[in-house]
């Protein structure tokens, strides 16, 4: 299980690192948000792996969060409104859209959210 857990965390870290590189250049804001969504999704799924729970096939961060927060109270401090909004970037912004791309400040808040969730989950899984 440790190896499988590490794989989830490494994939999440990779998405987060891509987002950090792009945010420095303020390039492709919707792609940064996509990688923030992906990192968050993978961190939450890593927690499910750690807890030996089934990983649902979903990109819905709110649904994943609800499964995770039942297992770990430390996640209760997460901004669920922002988390729910981040879900839209799993699919919607990967294709041409009519709506305008998000603002840089919004994207930076998504990056901070992904980092916060990653840090909480890494702390939880490193306790053993």
Please state whether the predicted TM-score (pTM) of the whole model is above 0.85. yes
Residue 26: DSSP 8-state: T
What was the pLDDT predicted at 63? Answer: 96
State pLDDT tens for residues 52-61. 999 999 999 9
Q: Predicted confidence band at 122 (pLDDT cuts at 50, 70, 90)?
A: very high
| Tokens 């420095």, located at residue | 24
Domains and CATH numbers, the chain: 2-125 (1.20.120.330)
Residue 95: DSSP 8-state: S
Q: Predicted confidence band at 2 (pLDDT cuts at 50, 70, 90)?
A: low
Collect all residues with Cβ–Cβ distance below 8 Å to 55 and sequence separation of at least 6: 45, 48, 49
State pLDDT tens for residues 72-110. 999 999 999 999 999 989 887 777 766 777 889 999 999
Residue 99: DSSP 8-state: S
């Amino acid at each position: 299980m440790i190896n499988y857990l590490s794989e989830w965390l490494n994939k999440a870290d990779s998405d987060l690192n891509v987002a950090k590189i792009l945010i420095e250049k303020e390039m492709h804001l919707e792609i940064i948000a996509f990688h923030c969504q992906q990192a968050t999704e993978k961190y939450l799924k890593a927690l499910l792996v750690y807890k030996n729970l089934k990983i649902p096939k979903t990109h819905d961060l709110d649904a994943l969060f609800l499964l995770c927060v039942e297992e770990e109270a430390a996640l209760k401090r997460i901004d669920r409104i922002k988390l729910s909004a981040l879900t839209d970037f799993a699919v919607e912004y990967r294709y041409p859209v009519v709506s305008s791309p998000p603002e840089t400040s919004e994207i930076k808040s998504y990056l901070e959210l992904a980092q916060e969730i990653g840090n909480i989950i890494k702390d939880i899984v490193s306790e053993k």
